Amino acid sequence: MFINRKTELNFLEKKYKKNKGQLLLVYGRRRVGKTELLKQFAKNKNSIYYFVENLNIKSHLDNLSKIISEKYNLPLSFNNFEELFLFLQDKKTILIFDEFQEFLKEDKNFLNNLQKIWDEFLKNSNLFLVLMGSSMSIFHKILSYNSPIYGRRTGDWELLPLGFQNINKFLPKYSKEDLIKTYGILGGVPEYLLKFDKDKSFWINIEENILQKGSFLYNEIFMLLSYELKELNTYLLILKSISEGVNKLGEIASKNHLQPTVLPTYLQTLIRLGFIDYILSFPYKARKKGIYIIKDHFFWFWFRFVFRNKADLENMRTKYVLKNIKKEFNQEFGLRFELIAKEFLEKKFNIEFKKGWYKNIDIDLLGISKDKKTLFVFEVKWQNLDYKKSVNILKNLENKLQYLPIDLKNYTIKTGIIAKSVHDKQKLRKNNFIVFDLRDI
């Protein structure tokens, strides 16, 4: 199933129309849809797709020789990549190397050799070369200033998970609430969403596709971390702590018996990989006063409910674990809904929203308009709210504003609320409040 990705396809098409060699890097986490994107782009074009397995370079060249020989109906045998590239340089060929980083394990000079060939022959050729991969840590190095192909690549694209607006295409029979919950535990990773059966309930899908030993998603996070990181046990402990609400550097270090001076290296790695985030307190100037959260939705669910229940799940006590998850879920889901609300508001108002707190004051989401004249403040509740409760929440929110360390006279204040459902929304809106619930998202 191929959904959306119009922006990414437009990027690739624009590059394809250029009259010179293209060296593109396309990367992103496992299961995010890179292969499907490139196959969709290359459809009906002169293209060669090659999945780079864990083989030696000679075997790769033999495989590629066979593929290209069959494509052009010629007896070809390439002894090195230079011969291969030179053969293709004038043929307006899209050459896609999927999981390209496997080449680097067998030939440490691969990028250096590619740099020389590119500079001498390929930059003015018709070759459209795509280096694609899932190892975020390796691709960050390839993109760095010290990389041999720094300055040679003609474009790069990190493929991110899909946004919430695409989720209903995977699960068309789900209610808006179940779609929100599904997105809040799986995120927008297409391969994860495809594992959920559209004809089965939210909770049955969790039981059968995440909690059951041997299911596709049961060990997915463990495998993903093993693929990206060394010192796996340390990272598991850090992520487990953050998922449980231990979110300050000193607290994380203390809980896991790590030196506070060493911990930032681990945390920065997790941030760079997109697994966690560091949120600064309003007005975002005191960097030491921020907190760490699990950014990736499936990481949150896996560490909060799978990893800590591994003993029971390994002993096939799936229904017992599921029963306990159901008891905790609505209370625990608040932060996930807050992140989904943030995504919705940023798309709605085209500005960045962040969490805001100062001393004992906590505001779920704040955003400042691009002209710096309007301050948007929102409370987010994973609850069904009647009119009276909504008014109390909004009045309390307005009261909090006076304690923020900014001059409110400089702004037009817009206060709002986002909840699972809000009774009498229109009545609240007539009183100049911004009000959204699941029907609006």
Which pLDDT score, from 0 to 100, does residue 287 have? Answer: 61
Which pLDDT score, from 0 to 100, does residue 284 have? Answer: 58
> Mean pLDDT over all residues of the chain?
94
**With a threshold of 0.75, does the pTM exceed it?**
yes
Q: Which fold has domain 6-158?
A: Rossmann fold (3.40.50)
- Per CATH, 166-332 and 339-436 having the same topology is answered no
Residue 304 reports pLDDT greater than 80: yes
Pick the CATH number of 166-332 from 2.60.40.10, 3.90.1150.10, 1.10.10.10, 1.10.645.10: 1.10.10.10
Pick the CATH number of 339-436 from 3.40.50.150, 3.40.1350.10, 3.40.50.300, 3.40.50.620: 3.40.1350.10
Domain map of the chain by residue range?
Answer: 6-158, 166-332, 339-436
User: Percent of the chain beyond pLDDT 70?
Assistant: 98
Per-residue pLDDT reduced to its tens digit, 66-118: 999 999 999 999 999 999 999 999 889 999 999 999 999 999 999 999 999 99
Per-residue pLDDT reduced to its tens digit, 379-427: 999 999 999 999 999 999 999 998 888 888 899 999 999 999 999 999 9
Which pLDDT score, from 0 to 100, does residue 2 have? Answer: 82
Per-residue pLDDT reduced to its tens digit, 350-368: 999 988 887 778 899 999 9
Which pLDDT score, from 0 to 100, does residue 265 have? Answer: 94
Per-residue pLDDT reduced to its tens digit, 240-269: 999 999 999 999 999 999 998 999 999 999
Q: CA of 116: how far to CAs of 65, 113, 359, in Å?
A: 22, 5, 57
